[in-house]
Amino acid sequence: MQDAGAFSIVFEMVPAATTRAAVNQLNIPIIGIGAGPDAAGRSWCGLIWQVCKTGKPSFAQVFGQVGAELKHAAQNYRDAVVNRTFPAPENYP
């Protein structure tokens, strides 16, 4: 994929050893979603955050006001990643 021009790869629920091997062999970043601690970054669904900032898209309906709780969760997530307590071994295969 790298040789074909990919600028990054997303690994979802990939064993940590596989992610580590790919990171060591490739020159493009691997973004992990449940793929162990060696990925270059982690992914969360971006639509949720966009909705919190701009309001609901025209195709959606509001079912609750959860912006403050999502912000709190995002801060906890950031802290866990910065402190390297996430991802923990129980979070990936």
Please list the active-site residues: 12
Cα(12)–Cα(66) distance, rounded to whole angstroms? 26
Exposure b/e, 43-70, CB count within 10 A at least 16 = b? eeeeeeeebeeeeeeeeeeeeeeeeeee
Quick one: tokens of 43? 């992914």
